[in-house]
Chain A
Amino acid sequence: MSLSAHDLSVSRGGIAVLEGVTFTLDPGRALILRGPNGSGKTTLLRTLAGLQPPLRGRVQAPPEARVYAGHADGIKAALTARENLSFWADIFGGGDVHAALAAFELEGLAERPAGAMSAGQKRRLGLARLIVAGREIWLLDEPTVSLDAPATAMFARTVRAHLAAGGSAVMATHIDLGLDEAEVMDVAPFKARAAALDGFDEAFL
């Protein structure tokens, strides 16, 4: 299942951030978004995930194929790692919690309350959710934040396995994960012109 954007403009707080974004992502491929802080990578990912409507243009992908992982991991501190994952597995229709824990080497921490885990462990738990969701298109916003080198390698391995299984991924990251299947897209050239304030009619004022 492919994800494509056609002449997509995205906005944050009513102001256009990026415009004219066009790409097609085929199964088995990854797209890495690059760009300076504040350039609109998160806004683009949220639009692709369907959390906000595009200003113009359209996103083509079945909504039930996408899963989003943002800056916050959506982990409840009072629940254990296993309970957190089981919850998401139930919501997304029964993924394999055991495999997800194994992929991020969390078996030893499964019964620990998430509130007692370190930042990197929490992030690994957040990423393990992608596996239990069992969806084809991953939309990841800075997935490697607070991961150490072995955990980053673990993540790269998981992404590679996902792509090999016919999935695809769009991620905003500054780290080179060494993925052969990945294309890099710099969002800076798509920066919206300052005049693109929609519906703002200066002459009328």
Chain B
Amino acid sequence: MRAILIRDLRLAIRAGGGFGLGLAFFLIVVVLVPFAVGPRGDLHSVIAPGILWLGALLACLLSLDRIFALDYEDGSLDLLATAPLPLEALVTLKALAHWLTTGLPLVLVAPFLAVLLNMPAAGYAPLLQALALGTPALSVIGTFGAALTVGVKRGGLLLSLLVLPLYVPTLIFGAEAARRGAEGLDHGMPLAMLAGITCGTIALLPFASAAVVRVSLR
């Protein structure tokens, strides 16, 4: 089990692994937004939670098609499917590896980028909590989308279309928690909803993803 995780992390960090891709994209989005909006600090601090959440979500989306496509192309997925490891465990570990290489770095840099958007200091902790609770769901849902498009050549566009609607609840509650936190309001309820969504996806989607991978390999 650990071998899969170590291999995926190692592959992500080595040349061409795409480790910094999501992070760079997130940085670019957040840096460019103030230029596009114009020099209005009050406006920036209002939109900051939403922009940070949207940037994190799109950065996650960017690396989803690598989750299974590379293993499918070089034949590893066939071999892993016949290995003693259950496919449910494989997809869970793939999602975990994706979160560790994409989601976790985004969570960690978000408070620093929040400074660029003039976000009120009270919002940093809620933003961090919301991203930490919400990004695992993005990886798990994304793994399901990647499983659905595993046999499709250049399935990136289809993957985005399938996954984006599924990301909506996470985005709504995540951004809401960060916004309420920034405004100094109680943000417990959206955080609880967000945690619920994440727990639900982690509990259910690996079974769906594994079933889909099994069908795609036929």
Residues of A within 8 A of B (CB): 46, 49-53, 63-64, 66-79, 83, 87-88, 90-93, 129
Contact = CB atoms under 8 A, between A and B. Distances in A.
Contacts of B74: 72-77
Interface of B: 2-4, 7, 10-11, 14-17, 73-76, 78-85, 217-218
Given A74-B76, A75-B74, A87-B3, A51 B16 contact: no
Q: Interface on chain A toward B: helix, strand, loop, or mixed SS?
A: loop
A91 B81 CA distance: 11
Nearest to B13: A78
B78 A72 contact: yes
Given A72-B74, A91-B4, A78 B81 contact: no
A91 B83 contact: yes
Nearest to A47: B218
Contacts, number: 69
30 contacts: A49-B82, A50-B82, A51-B78, A51-B81, A51-B218, A52-B217, A68-B79, A70-B79, A72-B74, A73-B74, A74-B74, A74-B75, A74-B76, A75-B74, A76-B76, A77-B74, A78-B11, A78-B17, A79-B10, A83-B10, A87-B3, A87-B7, A90-B2, A91-B80, A91-B83, A91-B85, A92-B83, A92-B84, A93-B84, A129-B79
A51 B214 CA distance: 8
Given A52-B218, A90-B3, A91-B83, A74 B11 contact: no
